[in-house]
Amino acid sequence: MRILRLAALLLFSVFAGFGAANAASFEKFDKAAFAAAQQQGKPILVDVHATWCPTCKKQEKVLGALKNEAAYANLIIFQLDYDKQKDVWKSMGVRKQSTLIAFKGSAETGRSVGVTKKEEIHALIATAMK
């Protein structure tokens, strides 16, 4: 009986890990990690986010669902804190929270401000996935 439980636990952990590896990764914005992802040519989405922003909360629901979508396995989403990382978002030409910027490596492929519709956010991300 104990062997069966261990086997079931091992099988569960393998499949749980498999699902996590096949979804978008989410990270707090870090200049070094962002630069490394750009150098590697990865698809990137920078999410300029403020905790108090209702538009950001709507975007967060759409982006959070990407954790379960295998199509976005290579995508890295960097959440840039609007209130604490002002120097970074200013250097990117951002003017307000709820800005999403897509990159393929170091090339910006698109940006949007205040977009909350799933289809529009997915279309923006698709520009980085090519």
Domain borders along the chain are 24-129
pLDDT at 101: 98
Q: What is the DSSP letter of 97?
A: S
pLDDT at 21: 53
Query: Per the structure block, which two tokens stand in for 28?
Result: 């707090």
pLDDT at 4: 35
**Residue showing tokens 């590697």:** 40
Please answer whether residues 114 and 55 qualify as being in contact, where contact means their C-beta atoms are separated by less than 8 angstroms.
yes
Separation of alpha carbons 56 and 54, rounded Å: 5
pLDDT at 30: 97
Please answer whether residues 80 and 29 qualify as being in contact, where contact means their C-beta atoms are separated by less than 8 angstroms.
yes
Separation of alpha carbons 49 and 56, rounded Å: 6
pTM: 0.82
> Which of the following CATH numbers is that of domain 24-129: 3.40.50.1980, 3.40.50.720, 3.40.30.10, 3.90.190.20?
3.40.30.10
pLDDT at 92: 97
Instruction: Collect the ranges in the chain with pLDDT lower than 50.
Output: 1-20
Separation of alpha carbons 48 and 51, rounded Å: 10
